Structure 1
Amino acid sequence: MTDVPASLKTFLTEEQIAELPDQRGVRAWAFEPYLELHHQAANAALAPVLDSLREHWLQGFQRKPNSVEQGRFVGCLRVLLLNLMRVRTVDEGLTVGISSSKGPLQAEVRYRPAFMSVQYHVRALKLLQERGLVCMVKAGHRQDGYGETARYALTEAACTLLLLSGIATRDFTIGRRDEVIRLKDTEGRLTRYSDTPETQAMRTNLRRLNDLLEGTDIALTRSAHALIDFDDKYSGQRTDLYRVFNNRSFAQGGRFYGGWWQHAKRYVRPFITIDGQPTVEADFKGLHPAILFAKSGLDIPPDPYSLVPGIADNEMLRDHAKTTFLALLNADSTTKEPRNFDSAAHGMTAEAFRQRVKDAFPMLPGIFGTGIGRCLQREDSDMAEKIMLHFADRGMPVLPVHDSFIIAADHKDELIRVMEAVFHARYGQMPKITLKLSA
Structure 2
Amino acid sequence: MYHDRMLAARGVAGWADTRLVEAIPVDRAPMEPKQDANASSGFLAPLGEWFDEDYDFTGPEGDAFADALLAQVEAIEVRKRARRQADVDNHQTFLRKLAANGFRAFRSYHPPLVAVQLAPHAYRGRAGWLNGVAMKRELELLREAGLVEINIGVWGEASTTYSVTPDFMIAAIRARLTGRNITHRLEPHRLVRLYRTNSDDGDLIAFEPDDQTRRWTEQIDAYNRFVAAQDVAMDLSSRDKARLLAQMNAGRREGIPRLKQPDLTNKSLFRQFNEGSFEAGGRLYGAWWINCPKEFRPMIRINGKPTVELDFSGCAVRMLYHEKGMAFEGDPYFLEALDACEREHDLRKSHFREGVKRLTQALINGCEGGSPERIRLTKEEAVRPYFKQSHVLEMIRAKHEPIAQSFQTGAWRWLQRADSDIALSVIHNLMEKGIVALPIHDSFIVAEGDKEALRLQMTVSYLDQFDHEPVIN
> TM-score under structure 1 normalisation?
0.71
Aligned pair in 2 of structure 1 residues 30, 368: CA closer, same or farther (>3 Å)? farther
Corresponding residue for 1:197?
211
**Superimposed CA distance per residue, residues 33-73 of structure 1 (whole angstroms, 9 cap, x where no aligned partner):** 12224558965884477448965xx69xxx77535325424
In the aligned structure 2, how far is the partner of 1:203 from the partner of 1:133?
38
Q: Is the 8 A contact 1:73 1:121 kept in 2?
A: no
Q: For the residues of structure 2 that align with 1:243 and 1:136, how far apart are their CA atoms?
A: 35
**2:315 aligns with one of 283, 287, 309:** 287
Answer yes or no: is 1:72 the counterpart of 2:111. Answer: no
**Which residue is 2:41 aligned to?**
none
Counterpart in the other structure of 1:6? none
- Among candidates 374, 378, 398, match of residue 341 of structure 1: 378
| Residues 1:206 and 2:220 aligned together | yes
Secondary structure class of the residue paired with 1:154: strand
Q: 2:169 is matched with which residue: 146, 163, 170?
A: 163
Aligned identity (percent) is 24
Q: Distance in 1 between matches of 2:408 and 2:121?
A: 31
**Cross-structure match for 2:110:** 92
Contact 1:95 1:151 (C-alpha < 8 Å) held by counterparts: no
The residue that corresponds to 2:197 in the other structure is: 186
SS in structure 2 at match of 1:163: helix
Report deviation, 1:243.
1.6
TM-superposed CA distance for 1:383, in Å, is 0.9
Q: Is residue 2:134 matched to residue 1:134? A: no
Partner of 1:399: 438
Q: Deviations over 1:130-161 (max 9, x none)?
A: 998233679779xxxxxxxx655435xx5334
Instruction: State the partner residue of 1:20.
Output: none
* Other structure's SS at 2:267 match: coil
Distance apart, 1:290 and its partner CA: 1.7
Q: Distance in 2 between matches of 1:298 and 1:391?
A: 29
Matching of residue 319 in structure 1 with residue 337 in structure 2: no
Assess if the C-alpha contact under 8 Å between 1:54 and 1:74 holds in 2: no
Alignment of 1:2-21 (within 5 A): none
**Structure 1: segments with no counterpart, 5+ residues:** 1-25, 142-149, 435-439
Query: Is the 8 Å Cα contact of residues 242 and 257 (structure 1) preserved in structure 2?
Result: yes
Cα offset, 1:391, TM superposition: 1.9
Seen in structure 2, the aligned counterparts of structure 1 residues 289 and 52 have a Cα distance that, compared at 3 Å, is: farther
Contact 1:308 1:360 in 2 (8 A): no
- Tell me how far apart the structure 2 counterparts of residues 370 and 230 of structure 1 sit (CA, whole Å): 34
Contact 1:279 1:408 in 2 (8 A): yes
Instruction: Sort the Cα spacing of 1:297 and 1:212 in 2 relative to 1 into closer, same or farther, 3 A.
Output: same
Q: What displacement does 1:310 show?
A: 3.5
Deviation (angstroms), 1:334: 4.2
Higher Rg of the two aligned structures: 2
Structure 2: distance between partners of 1:36 and 1:116:
14
Offset, 1:256:
1.9
Alpha carbons of 1:299 and 1:163: their partners in 2 closer, same or farther (altered >3 Å)? same
2-side partners of 1:51 and 1:213: how far apart? 35
Q: Is the 8 A contact 2:232 2:301 kept in 1?
A: yes
Tell me if 1:260 matches 2:288: yes
Distance 2:182 2:452 in 1: 34
Shift of 1:373: 1.1
If the length of structure 2 is used for normalisation, what is the TM-score?
0.67
Partner of 1:356: 392
Q: CA deviation at 1:195?
A: 0.5
SS in structure 2 of the partner of residue 116 of structure 1: coil
Distance 1:115 1:197, change over 3 A: same
> For 1:105-139, what per-residue CA distance to the aligned partner results, in whole angstroms no more than 9, with x for missing partners?
323x3xx4x53256534765799899982336797
Partner of 2:422: 383
Q: CA deviation at 1:196?
A: 0.2
Q: Aligned in 2, Cα 1:358/1:298: closer, same or farther, shift over 3 Å? A: farther
- What is the rounded CA distance, in whole Å, between the counterparts of 1:152 and 1:404 in structure 2? 39
Supply the distance in 1 between the matched residues of 2:386 and 2:118 (Cα, whole angstroms). 42
Residue in structure 2 matched with residue 18 of structure 1 by the alignment: none
Q: 2:51 aligns with which of 25, 31, 37?
A: 31
Q: 1:325 to 1:236 in 2, by over 3 A?
A: same
Inter-partner Cα distance in structure 1 for 2:71 and 2:465: 59
User: d(CA) in 2 for partners of 1:152 and 1:328?
Assistant: 43
SS at match of 2:318: helix
Distance 1:54 1:275, change over 3 A: same
Residues 288/340 of structure 1: CA separation in 2 closer, same or farther (3 Å cut): closer
1:251 positional shift: 1.3
Structure 2 CA distance, aligned partners of 1:272 and 1:315? 27
Query: Quick check: 1:185–1:246 contact (8 Å CA) kept in 2?
Result: yes
Residue identity matched to 1:365 = A
Among 83, 86, 98, the alignment partner of 2:101 is: 83
Q: Deviations over 1:3-51 (max 9, x none)?
A: xxxxxxxxxxxxxxxxxxxxxxx88645321222455896588447744
**Cα deviation, residue 282, structure 1:** 0.6
Count of residues in correspondence between the two structures: 389
Contact residue 183 and residue 248 of structure 1 kept, 8 A: yes
Greater CA drift, 97-106 or 318-327: 97-106
Distance in 2 between residues matched to 1:383 and 1:166, nearest whole Å = 42
CA distance in 1, matches of 2:99, 2:165: 10
Structure 1 pair 178–303 and aligned structure 2 pair: CA distance change class (3 A):
same
Q: Which residue of 1 aligns with 2:34?
A: none
Q: Alignment partner of 2:165: what SS?
A: helix
- The answer (yes or no) to whether the contact 1:253–1:375 under 8 Å persists in 2 is yes
**Alpha carbons of structure 1 residues 390 and 319: separation in structure 2 relative to 1, 3 Å:** same
